[in-house]
Structure 1
Amino acid sequence: MDTTASKIRRHLDSITRYLTPLLPIANCHMVEFLTENHWETLIPTPLRESLEKRELNDCVEKFWVAAEGKSSGTPELDAWVQEARAHYITFNEYTITARQLQDRIKAWGGDLQPEIRVSEFMNSKKSYEVQTMSHLVASLHKACGATCCVEAGGGRGHLLAALALGHGVPSLTIDCDPAAVQTAAQRVRLIQKQWHAIAKRVYNGTEEEMSKNINCDIHRFATAFITENTDLTTVVREAFPDHDQVKLLLTGLHTCGNLGPDSLRIFRTQPTTAAIFNVPCCYHLLTEELDEGVFDCFQRNFGTGGKSQGFPMSEYLRGFNLGRNARMLAAQSIDRVVSQRQLPVQSLLYRALLQVIIKENRPNSSLPEGKLKRLSKCENFEQYLKMADSILNLNLFDSSTRVLSELYPNIDQQWKKMTLFYLLRLCLAQVIESVILLDRLLYLNENGFDKVFLVKLFDPVLSPRCHSIVAVR
């Protein structure tokens, strides 16, 4: 029998066969672009040579064309982009649109709730996400017969504020940071006071005033560090002692790192969790059993994680490694880069030039990642080098003669190679994300759940982490 699980396995087989030979590109570090000669060693020779014949601006324009699914007139570039795109997640019976999710919710006995637009207290991105997601969560809440909606890692509590105030859903935001919880509770009280003025109910694009009669006491907060072993029923009973029965819908808008996988494990093991609606984020924070072949320059002594890894979750992918840099790449958005025609900042090249100097003069120095991020606005490499040397206290400026004399005069060529490498590597981002998301989908299928879907919830240009896992017990 050709089950959903077997289809997902074949889907993963196709992606991993394509991705595995390219993991060295995904796991390289741009800091080592020059010292490890990434352009010459990692980019296929025909593609590299075809791009070297053209000017940077010409190559970039051709990349934008290819990334939009059109022919750029450069066969090698088109083939690279098209093959990557062929392994992105596409719609089928288990990866669906938000509109198709609405149809599923109706089939499960739910009534679709209107969208709620909140015009204050959130930036435009968060407002869009809350408006898009909250009415679907509210609809699913009714369909699965839940008595309470629990938000894992809720931060400021914006999603559940819309659920509680806009839809009357008893809601509990849980976060591990006590200070964040206290601030969020105060912020939500301000939202409650101004709710009638800042919120609108949206029917088919038409906005209507909200009722002034809202229950301000059904959105509550709790402080807890959620793991797969967290007893959510107990946490909810403590927050809502008046609830006779507890049946949960577990949600999360951009659950960071292992919080997403742990939420899925809670759904699997705790019967009081009737459904889950989870949007993941921060793949680089997932734990993963890594081998030395996928370490980057900042992870030489990185250890393996605990028993429950963030990736992979499924039994089928057990033993398959992605690597931290590959997972970090998965969080980047080629849709946004192409839409906004974004190129990397030139400080990326300056950092690579600095790495040449460090490797030649201080080969045993251990530098923490991210210490030089605030130097992104330097006007030239000399300025960058002086400031970096001051921050790192390595006395390197006087030792930089060779780099300044040999590499820096050719900086335009180095910049061209780095820019094109950055764009070509970016094509793999959604391929890697597809593996991570399908692995989670397969995990739930392996454990006997059949009402499981990967839903493209948001516009990826507006909200790059645009997919959600939706499952009903």
Structure 2
Amino acid sequence: MEKKAYSCGNAGETLEWIGAIIDFIKPYSFFWDSHVVHFLTHRLWEAVDNEWLDTLRNEPLDYLIQIPSGFVQDRWPSSLKKFITTSTALSFPREQADFNKIFPNTQTILLNNVITQGMSQKKRHEIEALAAVIGSVAKDVDTNTVIDLGAGQGYLSQVLSFEYHLSVIAIDASDHHGRITHARAQRIKKHYDARMHKSSLGGREVMTPKTVTCSVLSPDMLNTLLNFKDIDECCLPSKPLLLTGLHACGDLSVTMLRTFLANEEVKAIVSVGCCYNLLSEESGMDNDALCGFPVSKGVKSSGLHLGRSSRDLACQSADRWRSMEKDASLHNFELHAFRAAFQVVLSRYFPETLTIIPTIGRQGKALRRRQQSSSMHGYFSTVNCCRAETGLTTGGVLCKSNSTGGKAEHDDRCLLFEKFSQCGMHRLNLNQMHGIDFAGIWKEAEPFAELIGPYWSLRATLGPVLETLILLDRLLFLQEQGDSVEVKMLPIFNPSVSPRNVALIAKKV
């Protein structure tokens, strides 16, 4: 099929794209239905084409981390090249769109240092772009009222209020976030009051967003809230309404779409989703009508079930992997190898933990951050010392032993694996560490550790395809409503800065 530049013009084209993705991914369920933590316990490499692994196990690290972005070499097997290039062709384009051309009346306001206090560079980039799109769509549907769902600390709400002069209600499930939003808005208002006083608009009122604490679990709950006349002791602003959410997690993004269709007062929606791993998925239960995936009739009729592992894979970012420095990439693969070996520890010594799907968090990344911000000699400072002593700063993934440093390299990694495991056991409240043969388990794991990088890269290649499927399901859901809804899908952020960069933009005609 010929993929469209960004969005599909009608439901038929979207359904064709979806069908092509489903046909492509089905033979590779051994990738997307698995998890790298089970690499050793389930011997996951055995499901992969031996020729692929034999080719990639000797390739430089730089090549491996570019595979999810479509990188291939002519000398690679044709079946491997086809897998990678097809994945890329079926994935939604992520390069930031020039939405000033798509929305001719867009006015992008560069944010000042007062309103961006506390924002990361990533958040500032996201809000500058998203606020401009919202401002443009609000003009198109002739509304001055925005409902910001999952508002967090109110960054987007405040920019829409103070800079775009829109009337905003910021809704979040956290009462703590609501208090922060209100207090922050009051501080910022003083700056804008002073600026307004100095201008020729001295009598104009500076609007601040209204904050509401509410956990929106269904469209009915949100509809009740939108129709309630007394919110936070302030009347709901004039209708019609525009609904928005920046990285609304899990089912909340889908709830927004259903609310947009169900509530006649909501004339437009601008939604950027996130956290696909938290989506509920159709399982034959009575509440499937409100599940997070699939939502369209077209995908439901396919009978496809993704599962948690594949939805988690859809959250990964090929653009960030591609921009990783070599050291960070090596850290990444080392952590995957240690985590897979730690799963062997759990299966042998603490099998009861496997029934609850143990999560040990991002302990390696947390330790790295602490090491970078202080002089502590922790896990990653040890890693760096090992690299300096054994020449591990260059070469492939989990570099193979050489004649001068093989045993030292093994001993160093064995020690690091033991420290990693002890951290994981502490997180799981498993304090009985005596008698665990960490060295023996690492000795078993090490011969297969060099396959972690190739396996991870191949599996990660399906991440953008799976995210595309989830996004197209939402697009099709709106397109299935017929001519009453005008909808497009656009990547509005720089993907290297903000990987979840696709906005679903819809208006009622």
Paired amino acid for 2:76: P
Q: 2:420 aligns with which of 384, 409, 412?
A: 384
Q: Which runs of 5+ in 2 are unaligned?
A: 1-7, 368-378, 383-415
Measured at CA, do residues 399 and 347 of structure 1 come closer, stay the same or move farther in structure 2, by a change above 3 Å?
farther
Matches within 5 A, 1:179-194: 179-194=176-191
Q: Is the 8 A contact 2:56 2:64 kept in 1?
A: no
Measured at CA, do residues 469 and 392 of structure 1 come closer, stay the same or move farther in structure 2, by a change above 3 Å?
closer
Counterpart of 2:14 in structure 1 is: 8
Q: 1:288 aligns with which of 274, 277, 281?
A: 281
Measured at CA, do residues 267 and 438 of structure 1 come closer, stay the same or move farther in structure 2, by a change above 3 Å?
same
Q: 2:211 aligned with 1:221, yes or no? A: yes
Q: 1:187-214, CA deviations, whole angstroms, 9 ceiling, x for partnerless residues? A: 1222223358999xxxxxxxxx998876
Q: Is the 8 A contact 2:479 2:487 kept in 1?
A: yes
Please identify, of 4-13 and 221-230, the stretch whose mean Cα deviation from structure 2 is larger.
221-230
1:375 Cα deviation after fit? 5.4
Q: 2:337 aligned with 1:349, yes or no? A: yes
Q: 1:124-165, CA deviations, whole angstroms, 9 ceiling, x for partnerless residues? A: 111111111112211111110113111111111111211111
Percentage identity across paired residues of the two chains: 25
Q: Is the 8 A contact 1:222 1:239 kept in 2?
A: yes
**In structure 2, how many angstroms separate the alpha carbons of the residues matched to 1:197 and 1:82?**
56
1:218 Cα deviation after fit? 4.2
Q: 2:452 aligns with which of 377, 397, 418?
A: 418
Q: Which runs of 5+ in 1 are unaligned?
A: 200-208, 292-302
Counterpart of 1:314 in structure 2 is: 296
Counterpart of 1:79 in structure 2 is: 82
Q: Is the 8 A contact 2:92 2:468 kept in 1?
A: yes
Matches within 5 A, 1:3-402: 4-41=10-47, 43-52=48-57, 54=58, 58-64=59-65, 66=67, 69=70, 71-76=72-77, 77-90=80-93, 98-99=97-98, 101-103=99-101, 105-106=103-104, 111-119=105-113, 120-121=116-117, 122-195=119-192, 215-226=205-216, 227-229=218-220, 230-231=222-223, 232-235=225-228, 238=231, 245-290=238-283, 306-318=288-300, 319-341=303-325, 342-343=328-329, 344=332, 346-365=334-353, 366-367=355-356, 369-371=358-360, 373-374=362-363, 377=367, 378=379, 379=382, 380-392=416-428, 394=430, 397-401=433-437
Normalising by structure 2, what TM-score?
Answer: 0.77
Measured at CA, do residues 435 and 70 of structure 1 come closer, stay the same or move farther in structure 2, by a change above 3 Å?
closer
Paired amino acid for 2:110: I
Paired amino acid for 1:308: L
Q: Is the 8 A contact 1:105 1:143 kept in 2?
A: no
Measured at CA, do residues 367 and 245 of structure 1 come closer, stay the same or move farther in structure 2, by a change above 3 Å?
closer
**In structure 2, how many angstroms separate the alpha carbons of the residues matched to 1:439 and 1:37?**
33
**In structure 2, how many angstroms separate the alpha carbons of the residues matched to 1:257 and 1:423?**
25
1:392 Cα deviation after fit? 4.1
Q: Is the 8 A contact 1:102 1:112 kept in 2?
A: yes
**In structure 1, how many angstroms separate the alpha carbons of the residues matched to 2:210 and 2:166?**
11
Measured at CA, do residues 102 and 65 of structure 1 come closer, stay the same or move farther in structure 2, by a change above 3 Å?
closer
Q: Is the 8 A contact 2:189 2:206 kept in 1?
A: yes
Measured at CA, do residues 261 and 349 of structure 1 come closer, stay the same or move farther in structure 2, by a change above 3 Å?
same
Q: 1:404 aligns with which of 421, 433, 439?
A: 439
Q: 1:324-376, CA deviations, whole angstroms, 9 ceiling, x for partnerless residues? A: 11111111101111022452152332222122122223333345532354355
Counterpart of 1:202 in structure 2 is: none
**In structure 1, how many angstroms separate the alpha carbons of the residues matched to 2:172 and 2:423?**
38
Measured at CA, do residues 307 and 112 of structure 1 come closer, stay the same or move farther in structure 2, by a change above 3 Å?
closer
RMSD (Å), alpha carbons: 3.1
Measured at CA, do residues 392 and 314 of structure 1 come closer, stay the same or move farther in structure 2, by a change above 3 Å?
closer
Q: Is the 8 A contact 1:116 1:162 kept in 2?
A: no
Paired amino acid for 2:31: I
Aligned residues: 436
Q: Is the 8 A contact 1:165 1:215 kept in 2?
A: no
Normalising by structure 1, what TM-score?
Answer: 0.83
Measured at CA, do residues 334 and 236 of structure 1 come closer, stay the same or move farther in structure 2, by a change above 3 Å?
farther
1:264 Cα deviation after fit? 0.3
**In structure 1, how many angstroms separate the alpha carbons of the residues matched to 2:9 and 2:162?**
41
Measured at CA, do residues 67 and 287 of structure 1 come closer, stay the same or move farther in structure 2, by a change above 3 Å?
closer
Q: What secondary structure is seen at the aligned counterpart in 1 of 2:273?
A: strand
Please identify, of 3-12 and 231-240, the stretch whose mean Cα deviation from structure 2 is larger.
231-240
**In structure 1, how many angstroms separate the alpha carbons of the residues matched to 2:90 and 2:12?**
17
